[in-house]
Amino acid sequence: MGDTYRTTSTGLSLATVEQLRRSLSGQILLHGDPGYDEARTVWNGMIDKRPALIVRCTSTSDVAAGVKFAREQELLVAVRGGGHSAAGHAVCDDGLMIDLSLMNDVQVDPEKQTARVGGGALWADVDRTTQGHGLATTGGTFSGTGVGGLTLGGGFGFLSGKYGLACDNLLSAEVVTADGSVLTASNDQNADLFWGLRGGGGNFGVVTSFEFQLYPVGPTVLAGMVVHPIERAKEAFQFYREFTRNNPDELNAIAGIVPSPEGMPTFVILACYNGSMEEGEEVVRPLREFGPPLMDGIGPMPYTTLQSMFDEAFPTGLSYYWKGRLVEEITDDLIDTIIEHYEHAPTPFSVINLQQLGNATNRVPKEATAFSHRDGRYDLLAMGGWQDPSEADASIQWARDFYEHTGPLTSGGLYVNSLIENDTLQSAYRDESFERLVALKDKYDPTNLFRNNANIAPSAPISSTSEIGD
């Protein structure tokens, strides 16, 4: 097993690890233990990191014990929610991984229309349980994505046109901070921390549970995709721009160039109308008429079916690299750049898409939450995907070039959950918000214990061992 590793790689003795183990209700996995490799595997196959120990937490006190242990032993900390950060922030080399995936319980209060969600839950867990009561809240568009990372960075999806971001629907959170304290953050308690959690990522602590506002949704929504030939991409992007210019709150739509199941580029619009079927049919009629599409897959479907419809499109284990920008207005120049750039896509797994942040998202005041680019109407993302490691460099460069080329064509704001490198982190926030986030970091995590993330460094980091950020 990993005895040698345990004592040489991090200098931890077995006796020290045993002490931690005895204080936990959950499990510790070390290098070589059964389950260790599964627990360290994240969505992006490019990430292959080996923590010295993985604490599979089952309670808030396990999380607090893990945090205190990491601080005392001067270990780098990685926090795993759903493991979907493309940067691989859920895992680290040599340090301590706080794995929240067993903390995925979802409790619904149907009277208050709220849900209490474990810090390691996936959107599949939330959607399944809340829909059991005819309720839902804004989540991401893939059921395997984690509630933790998505909410703490903002979180838009098919319901964000009507209900705003996932973080806009957060009512309170239970947080284990860097000193091991357990705090409640809400508008009434630790309101400064609550502000920072809604867009500031995992910088201020480990969220062990989230409380969300829910709304009546479905169970059936009018949703699906229309597909057009790639040759019509320019007109189709222009159509999407007009279609989404003044759409009702009930509608959210994503448009992009994606590979067909045969690996050929196609233009796709994916839409969801969350409201009455009759009104929805009227709203989506232009979608059915434009072109006409090669394929019209829009129809009534369970909300949970929509939410898991594309899970297989970007499977865990393939390697990915992406870069994105927020867009206020889709200009013809931007459309031309997207189309031209896609022509040089290095692999058939490459995607460029525009996803609406949603009307309600855009109406929230900029200063209300740490997520501050409320003028951003679309998230523009170029994602390279590959199986063969020899295609890695070309795919990475392709996404980076796209980012460079689109800089002059967009407003400059970035979505923190689209970042892989931290060098542009500040562009994810307005200046005032960033200053406020640094002040919060100084207050809640002055030694930058939580730095294996989209890292907001404290103004004077008093870090003990490892490097800061990346």
Ligand X SMILES: Cc1cc2nc3c(=O)[nH]c(=O)nc-3n(C[C@H](O)[C@H](O)[C@H](O)COP(=O)(O)OP(=O)(O)OC[C@H]3O[C@@H](n4cnc5c(N)ncnc54)[C@H](O)[C@@H]3O)c2cc1C
**Residue ranges binding ligand X (CB under 6 A):** 43, 79-86, 89-90, 100, 119, 140-142, 145-146, 148-150, 152-157, 201-202, 206-207, 314, 417, 453
Nearer Cβ to ligand X, position 295 or 318?
Answer: 318
**Minimum distance from CB of 292 to ligand X (Å)?**
27
CA dist 75 to 52, 63, 200, 241, 283, Å?
A: 9, 15, 22, 48, 54
Nearer Cβ to ligand X, position 337 or 422?
Answer: 422
Nearer Cβ to ligand X, position 154 or 256?
Answer: 154
Q: State whether residue 254 is helix, strand or coil.
A: strand
What's the CA gap between 189 and 370, in Å, rounded?
17
The answer to whether 392 touches 386, Cβ cutoff 8 Å, is yes
What's the CA gap between 412 and 155, in Å, rounded?
19
153: nearest Cα among 306, 379, 330? 379
Q: How many CA atoms lie within 13 A of 401 on its CB side?
A: 16
**Minimum distance from CB of 15 to ligand X (Å)?**
29
Tokens read off for 125: 């867990």
**Minimum distance from CB of 266 to ligand X (Å)?**
19
**Minimum distance from CB of 159 to ligand X (Å)?**
11
Nearer Cβ to ligand X, position 83 or 293?
Answer: 83
Nearer Cβ to ligand X, position 92 or 108?
Answer: 92
Nearer Cβ to ligand X, position 84 or 241?
Answer: 84
Amino acid making up residue 89: H
Q: How many CA atoms lie within 13 A of 124 on its CB side?
A: 11
**Minimum distance from CB of 64 to ligand X (Å)?**
13
Amino acid making up residue 265: P
Tokens read off for 120: 């390691």
**Minimum distance from CB of 66 to ligand X (Å)?**
12
**Minimum distance from CB of 333 to ligand X (Å)?**
26
What's the CA gap between 206 and 81, in Å, rounded?
10
Nearer Cβ to ligand X, position 236 or 270?
Answer: 270
Q: Which residues pair with 340 in a beta bridge?
A: none
